[in-house]
Chain A
């Protein structure tokens, strides 16, 4: 199969899977087999693309021209490869996890859940392989819409309110700002194709570039820059697999991925170097990192705490993009992968605790480490990775980001990163400490039995936790893969 065809099939495969899942809605076993099979097939489709991309090829294809000059096109390039690989691999893991979770938790409307999940993954892959801003925008919006039924899965009033915030903010930013920026870009340059070094050249004044940059960055609501971050905590009403894959990986990473894409391929980092709006955005990102961490410390609900942690971590990537130097951008790209593994582990653990022990709050976790030792150990690994301690993957990306900040003589942001690390420790380690070192609330002497989550959940947790460790040792290929995106043609 040629690379071009593989990309198209990769986008379509989850959709076909969705049809299969819908068709077998009466047979849970068959339905879940379909999910898993699709997930595996997707990964097998995406993986072979890595080789040509590493070799410097950029396989691309145009599917359909919607308006003259504006087409739905796909192209595989390093940044997209990273995102596609992470998303497709973690989908397999999440599928296994959600089978255990959804059954263990006796959720309703499971078919709708799996169908929407598959559509969401399809659009995430579409975002990853989009060859122009227009295609990216289409998949970006499909992603928003297909995750809405997942967020509101429980159908309660709380879910409805959460869904309202979710959809409202994401649509508001994407239609209100991002679409405006896209049309504006089109009307100035006459193209929306992602091009190494940017497409603006010297066509417009720095002021206009600044306005456009602000429109893009705030328009990409999925990157959760403050003040447009509220949708992410609101989305936590969703079942945990959704929070895990979509709101720690697919959706939010689609956001920061778009940020990097726009930075690198629409504006080009050389062009942005002289734009003052990026400084403003740097401070916004820094503020988001610190403020979200502070909020996370105060959140007692574990999932919401993790959500604010995600908000904070997403801004790392934005920060990396806005520092506009080679190192920081690569650091941002790597952070997409590193954080994905770390955060999904944390969410999996939160879900496992919910399924096995029916606990959602940090304050209830006292002594749970004795009941669920494996889960809590994985939680520790995930936490350490997000904090950025060796020998875990998160340390590399954080290191590169700090290095990039230093390169640009922006020492303030080195400080921000360090401070943020401390704050990470402050909100991620207490659950672990409580779990292992505090006594359980019941009367002492009572027999404590192991009560881990279903095996499917546990296995997934182990895989992602192991992934976080492995990424520390195999970070180099990632760096090599990402390097070409910042080497401009000039």
Chain B
């Protein structure tokens, strides 16, 4: 796409701002919920955009493979190291400070603790939202589940019925997405607000944030699975010259 002048110019102009924005999000994490994760995604998006416009070769010059691998490893080490450091350090002060920061990063866990006393909410959700004996009401009242089931079956069907390995991965994604929706819809409380603590605020109804956090993790896992699956497909394509399942099977049978 490097032949398109407009794309090139806009990308060149945009990328620094994207990176800047990522940094902003990162440092804002100190004051409000969220931060590192989103910042990382935005940061990565800048590089992906660059690679899309100027080609993979140029992108690798900017961020060599070795560097990326090292960064991944260091990142993981820092991440895990923070946890370990906290365990090792027995200073109360450090502990208190850390707890405050983690608390602000993960309001979910905290909110969950408050929510705990009222878990009746969650349970009610699965039963009818009111005594509705009529079938129609049952259908409509559970529309989120029907969507979930439909998506799940759709994804499952694609995985089973399609011979194209990439399409299978897409099916897998739909399948997983359906579960994400299930989780999130479970957490929703009618009329609930975002679970942000307002100082001195009285009791407010808020949606259960825990499923969101869980699903955030699950999405990450899903992305990792997709990435791994697709890279496997690339390798398969290199080895077999095709990504159609039946052709691969035929080739495996021959020798």
Judged by CB atoms under 8 Å, the answer to whether A and B touch is no
**Residues on B close to A: CB < 8 A?**
none
